[in-house]
Amino acid sequence: MSLALITCAGVALDAVLGEPRRAHPLVAFGRLAGRLEQRFNPAGGGWRSHGVTAWCLAVLPLTLLTWLLMQVTSLGWAVEIFALYFALGLRSLYEHAQPVARALRLGDLPLARERVGWMVSRNTAELDATGVARAGTESVLENGSDAVFAALFWFIVAGAPGVVLYRLSNTLDAMWGYRNERFERFGWAAAKIDDVLNYIPARLVALTYALLGRTALALRCWRRQAPLWDSPNAGPVMAAGAGSLGVSLGGAAEYHGEVHERPQLGEGPPPCARDIERAMNRVIAGVGLWLLCLMIWEVLGA
DSSP state of 263: E
Rounded-to-10 torsion of CA 225, 229, 234, 235: 10
Q: Let me know if 194 is exposed, middle or buried by CB neighbors in 10 A (0-12, 13-18, 19+).
A: buried
Can you tell me the distance from the alpha carbon of 136 to that of 273, in angstroms, rounded to the nearest whole number? 9
CB atoms within 10 A of CB 238: 31
Q: Using alpha carbons, select from 189, 204, 202, 178 the residue that is nearest to residue 294.
A: 204
Q: pLDDT tier at 257 (50, 70, 90 boundaries)?
A: low
Residue 77 to residue 10: CA distance in whole angstroms = 10
Cα–Cα dist 211/290, whole Å: 12
Structural contact between residues 287 and 144, judged by C-beta atoms closer than 8 angstroms? no
The set of residues, in sequence order, having a beta carbon less than 8 Å from that of 302 and lying 6+ positions away, is none
Rounded CA gap, 136 and 120, in Å? 8
pLDDT digits 0-9 by tens, 56-66: 999 999 999 99
Backbone phi, then psi, for 262, in 5-degree steps? -100, 150
User: Whole-angstrom distance between the N-terminal and C-terminal Cα of the chain?
Assistant: 14
This prediction's pTM: 0.94
Least confident among 108-122, 227-241, 255-269:
255-269
pLDDT tens digit sequence for 193-221: 999 999 999 999 999 999 999 999 999 99
Short-list 243, 291, 297, 283, CA closest to 267: 243
Inform me whether the pLDDT recorded for 22 exceeds 80: no
pLDDT digits (tens, 9 = 90+) for 28-48: 999 999 999 999 988 777 789
> For 254, which DSSP code?
E
Percentage of the chain with pLDDT > 90? 79
